[in-house]
Amino acid sequence: MARSMEPLVVGRVIGDVVDMFNPLTQFTVHYGTKQVANGCNIKPSVAADKPHVRILAPCLSSNLYTLVMVDPDAPSPSEPKYREWLHWIVVDIPEGSDATKGKELVPYMGPQPPTGIHRYVFVLFKQNGPMVEGTRPPDARSNFSTRRFAVENGLGPPVAAVYFNSQKEVAVRKR
């Protein structure tokens, strides 16, 4: 197993969100100056605004990517395999560019963990071409499945993933 995949296996991203895949692309996710690294802790207040996501590759090709952000620890009354809470989808991100150059299919929603520690997972897929005009966003943020979304949109396996942990912040009481 590639060393870069080990944190995704240990953090149960492989299994809970996606199947084993071959990491073919590198990308970075930053909330301000804080870079997301597998398993790092980021407070919801730090991640309230959209992160800066950059695909690390030369801008010489016409490759396009889809970015999906989910919380697989969100409680869901339906089947466990569709229990992810969708936080963000951006399609048609040009290689070597950042997510702002893509088309936001589902607007960003920052972490809002109710209790306990939640994982927030960014999954990157290489597209076969531009997303078909009229690609519809999911009907709801709840009961989402990254795997199902990838199949329905012909994305194939992921090419990269990274996740962070977050938990509800303690409110400061004023006297």
Average pLDDT over residues 42-56: 96
Strand order in the sheet with 34-35: 34-35, 26-31, 52-56
Strand order in the sheet with 117-126: 40-41, 160-167, 117-126, 64-71, 85-94, 103-106
Whole-number average pLDDT of the chain: 89
- What pLDDT does 60 receive? 64
3-state helix, strand, coil in the chain (%, to 5): 15, 35, 50
Domains in the chain with CATH codes: 3-167 (3.90.280.10)
- What pLDDT does 1 receive? 43
Of the candidates 138, 111, 139, the one whose C-alpha atom is nearest the C-alpha of residue 51 is 111
Q: What is the pLDDT of residues 128-164, one digit of tens each?
A: 889 877 678 888 999 899 999 999 999 989 999 999 9
Distance CA 128, CA 80 (A): 29
Q: How many alpha carbons fall within 13 Å on the CB side of residue 65?
A: 30
Beta strands in 95-137 (DSSP E): 103-106, 117-126
**Helix (H), strand (E) at residue 80:** none
Distance CA 70, CA 87 (A): 5
Distance CA 84, CA 155 (A): 18
Taking the whole predicted model, whether its pTM rises above 0.85 is answered as: yes
6-37: string of b/e by CB count within 10 Å (b at 16+)?
Answer: ebbeebebbebbbeebeeebebebebeebebe
Q: What is the pLDDT of residues 77-86, one digit of tens each?
A: 555 555 899 9
- What pLDDT does 172 receive? 60
Distance CA 16, CA 145 (A): 10
Residue 114 binned pLDDT confidence (cut-offs 50, 70, 90)? confident
DSSP track, 29-49: EEETTEEP-TTEE--TTTTSS
- What pLDDT does 20 receive? 95
- What pLDDT does 170 receive? 80
- What pLDDT does 123 receive? 98
Q: Which amino acid is at 24?
A: L
Which is more confident, 67 or 1? 67
